[in-house]
Chains A and B, each alone.
Chain A
Amino acid sequence: MEKRQDGIDRRKFIKDLALAGTVIFIMGPEVKGAEIGEGEKSETHLYGMGIQVDKCIGCGRCVYACKEENNVPREPFFFRTWVERYIITVDQEVLVDSPEGGINGFPEAAKEYSILRSFFLPKLCNHCGNAPCVQVCPVGATFTSDEGIVLIDDEYCIGCRYCIQACPYGARFLHPEKKIAEKCTFCYHRLGRGLAPACVEICPTGARIFGELRLRSSPLTRFMRFNEIQVLKPDLNTQPKVFYAHLDGEVR
């Protein structure tokens, strides 16, 4: 057989090919997400919140703390987080109320109701993985950050209210003075400083749990491992990142 001028014949080529294949096999393929392991610092977080419904006592301290922390308008119809009370009567009637968002606690339920069961339910922006509000924003003023948090660009929002209509959870409102959309940010400014969101920090019974979703060991993943988890309106495929444990079937 005639040897080629550049010194690579078929035999050497096949030998090199086999060697290269072996080396690549031993080094292992790059696994997506493999760099986010336990104890290692990862560049991108993915945050979520867990809410244990049967721990909530309806004191409304989270609502108050949220308003203080984020300078939410004090009028009792602007909330980034609020608490609802569900009363299910023996006639299977479902009554939901949230007087002033629960910021001053809840008065005792009216005596005429024959209560079958009742509970409090904290609500907030679900920071959807597939957020309708982000999709409808015509200018790109609301967006999902790398950490999975849905944020609002104060300076760029034109106040068109599309996002407020699109949100299936009613988590957004129009700031009465700034005339821009507002909502929960998971206290984005606190996360960078190593602090938990104000509502999580302040909850006296630990009904709210905040943490990393991708880690195998974080308070949130532990919570999600030991509880049966539901999200609100799963049929809308919004992929919420607020996870409820012991959620009642009557919750809308």
Chain B
Amino acid sequence: MENPLFRLIRFGWGLISLPDQVKRLIFIFVLLLIGWFAIRSRLVPETFGEKGHYRRAALEANAALPVAYVGQSDCVLCHEDVGDLKRKSYHRSVTCEVCHGPGAAHLEDPETNLLFQPKERGLCTLCHGYNSSKPTGFPQIDPMLHNPNDPCMMCHNPHDPKPPHTPAECGACHGEIARTKSVSHHASLACTLCHETQEIHKENPRLAIPGKPQSRAFCGTCHGETADSPKHIPRVELDSHGNGDLCWQCHYPHYPEVF
């Protein structure tokens, strides 16, 4: 006696009124399709393709990562006094965590997770050490010459940084220029001979920018053919020398050499 299941299949096969070879082909295709979907459902991960050609869950996994830097607005919730002081200072754009490190752990448990308090020179000079690639006008010192071995905090308050006393000499801030000039033929000239400087520039440098000589005649008072100056000073014919450029457009007055 034949298996009843086989008899059922044979009966159903007979019901479809198509040529036998076509029915076999359709049967194989259906099997392949089922296999394809079975394998695909196993291999394609969950939530893949819901938003694009990627797992949507990956977005959530990326978004759920912990935060280390909390931002200054959270720091000043407790450290209000420091925030008030710093807000008015030159360091107003420097957030607390630049120097003190990431604050998320400290925010969770301020007692046990104390933040780093930089007391050495190294961190300050990362920004304020002289480097010729830094943009002009950014306050820089030469760590080797500017009170070596003393921690910066001895004289400067990092939350309200400014010179401890009004600098007496231009070289306190413009050290690179002062050193260059000191070995040049212009060593004996005062900076203010050429740069008209208002007194307030010493206290608030950006409020009054010192001027530069605006005419050839200014240099001509020493270097002109008819100038009333010592004889060893080189002379040029002001009207014909150069192409009408200002002197400092070709010569560097802090280290004037004839090219």
Chain A interface (Cβ < 8 Å from any Cβ of B): 54-61, 65, 68-70, 85-87, 104-106, 108-109, 115, 118-120, 140-146, 151-156, 185, 188-190, 192-193, 195-196, 198, 201-202, 204-206
Contact = CB atoms under 8 A, between A and B. Distances in A.
Interface size class of B (residues with CB under 8 A): 35 or more
Interface in B40-74: 45, 48, 51-55, 58-59, 61-71
B45 A156 contact: yes
A55 B136 CA distance: 10
28 contacts: A57-B138, A59-B127, A60-B126, A68-B101, A69-B69, A109-B132, A109-B133, A118-B132, A119-B133, A140-B53, A143-B53, A143-B54, A143-B58, A152-B62, A153-B58, A155-B58, A188-B62, A189-B66, A190-B67, A192-B63, A195-B67, A198-B69, A201-B71, A202-B95, A204-B94, A204-B127, A205-B138, A206-B93
Nearest to B74: A195
Contact of A151 (B59, B101, B127, B131): B59
B62 A185 contact: yes
Q: Is the interface of B mostly helix, strand, loop or mixed?
A: loop
Nearest to A69: B68
B135 interface: yes
B120 to A, nearest CB: 13
B134 A57 contact: yes
Nearest to A146: B51
B132 A201 contact: no
A118 B45 CA distance: 50
A156 B61 CA distance: 12
A157 to B, nearest CB: 10
A188 B71 CA distance: 16
B250 to A, nearest CB: 14
B101 A54 contact: no
Interface string B91-115: 1011101100110000000000000
Nearest to B66: A189
Nearest to B60: A192
Which residue of B51, B63, B101, B125 has the most chain A CB atoms within 10 A of its CB atom? B63
A87 B132 CA distance: 10
Nearest to A113: B132
A42 B62 CA distance: 21
Given A65-B102, A144-B52, A153-B54, 20 more contacts: A57-B138, A105-B126, A106-B131, A118-B133, A140-B53, A140-B54, A140-B55, A154-B58, A155-B58, A156-B55, A185-B62, A189-B64, A189-B66, A195-B69, A195-B71, A196-B71, A198-B69, A201-B95, A204-B95, A205-B138
A189 B125 CA distance: 32
A108 B132 contact: yes
Nearest to B134: A57
B248 to A, nearest CB: 17
B112 to A, nearest CB: 19
Contacts of A188: 62-63, 65
A233 B190 CA distance: 48
Given A57-B138, A60-B126, A189-B64, A202 B93 contact: no
A151 B133 contact: no
Given A153-B54, A189-B63, A190-B67, A205 B93 contact: yes
Given A55-B135, A143-B53, A202-B95, A69 B58 contact: no
B129 interface: yes
Nearest to A57: B134
B130 interface: yes
Interchain residue pairs A-B with the least CB separation, the first 5: A143-B54, A153-B58, A189-B65, A118-B133, A204-B94
A108 B51 CA distance: 49
A59 B48 contact: no
Contacts of A60: 126
Given A55-B135, A146-B51, A193 B130 contact: no
B160 to A, nearest CB: 15
B135 A119 contact: yes
Contacts of A146: 51
B48 A140 contact: yes
